[in-house]
Amino acid sequence: MEGTYKNRYDVTLLVNGLPLVQIELKRRGLELKEAFNQINRYQRHSFWANTALFQYVQIFVISNGVNTKYCANNRNQSFKQTFFWADVENELITQLDKFADTFLEKCHVSKMIAKYIVLQETDKVLMILRPYQYFAVEKIVKRVRETTADGYIWHTTGSGKTLTSFKASQVLKELPDVDKVVFVVDRADLDYQTTREFNAFSAGSVDGTDNTSALVRQLTDDTSLIVTTIQKLNTAIRPGSRHTAKMASVADKRIVLIFDECHRSQFGETHWRITEFFKRFQMFGFTGTPIFAENAT
């Protein structure tokens, strides 16, 4: 490719004729960061050249044979945003040949491109899920497809719960048997940073007001993914409220409820009210600090 400079790339994977995965290889013993820096140079020097087809790249893979990482195509990328792939038991897959057998397997890499890359709206950059985020979403989807059981995801603080839960919501709303996905957060926990994070994935999804009418309207129209606060949900389904008549049509729909920081919100009267009101619901909680018998106090 000839742009500002002539560049010869290593390996390009074409999907339906478009270069969607770009692989940069270094010999054993060289630092992985050298491959990362080279991709950044290519972005500046020649990805835009000719018909700019390489601007379509979704995923970068860098490897020195022994260590292999992946990242989303993002002009503002830092090396911290490159990830090792892992199996479902969280065992890292670092060798290039094993990585190719798992991550670059046709069905898997297609699924990563089609489902597990997110456009972060605020900065208009691509983000890609880490392996534990991918497996968490896959397990939730499998459970919704095959059962009516509930579940929870334990991700430690700072590991990207917001992205995982939001992506799970997006995938679930496409399932034909699911009428609505309701993504519930506790307004008490919505500091500036959290609000900004939610709104980055879906502009205006968290408004921080007490207006329940908008939620009732979304629950009763054809909106498939709703982001709301537990306070509004509680008001909407309260028996004898002014919303009761409108909400009657919602009770029998198949609703998947996803709760952020569920260890704080899923007990007492609110939890009971939700389980009494919805007849065909499934609940999934996300938490960094789950409550077990040994730490229930």
SS3 assignment for 152-210: EEECCCCCCHHHHHHHHHHHHCCCCCCCEEEEEECHHHCCHHHHHHHHHHCCCCCCCCC
At the topology level, CATH places domain 11-128 in tt1808, chain A (3.90.1570)
* 3-state DSSP assignment of residue 151: strand
Q: What are phi and psi of 296, to 5 degrees?
A: -65, -25
Question: Which residues in the chain are classed under CATH 3.90.1570.50?
Answer: 11-128
pLDDT at residue 275, rounded to an integer: 86
pLDDT band at residue 191, thresholds of 50, 70 and 90? very low
How many Cβ atoms from other residues are within 10 Å of residue 113's Cβ?
Answer: 17
The pair of structure tokens assigned to 143 is 């459970």
Return d(Cα 222, Cα 135) in angstroms, integer.
29
pLDDT at residue 92, rounded to an integer: 97
Q: Report in angstroms the alpha-carbon separations of 198 from 119, 120, 153, 215, 265.
A: 13, 10, 18, 17, 18
Query: What average pLDDT does range 291-295 have in this prediction?
Result: 78
The pair of structure tokens assigned to 269 is 């009267």
Q: Decide if pLDDT at 294 tops 90.
A: no
Return d(Cα 66, Cα 32) in angstroms, integer.
10
Q: Decide if pLDDT at 50 tops 90.
A: no
Question: Which residues in the chain are classed under CATH 3.40.50.300?
Answer: 134-295
85-110 pLDDT, tens digit per residue, is 999 999 999 999 999 999 999 999 99
255-282 pLDDT, tens digit per residue, is 999 988 766 665 667 788 888 889 999 9
* Full-model pTM: 0.86
pLDDT at residue 293, rounded to an integer: 80
135-187 pLDDT, tens digit per residue, is 999 999 999 999 999 998 888 878 888 888 888 988 998 899 999 998 887 76
Return d(Cα 128, Cα 22) in angstroms, integer.
15
CATH superfamily of 134-295: P-loop containing nucleotide triphosphate hydrolases (3.40.50.300)
The pair of structure tokens assigned to 90 is 């969280």
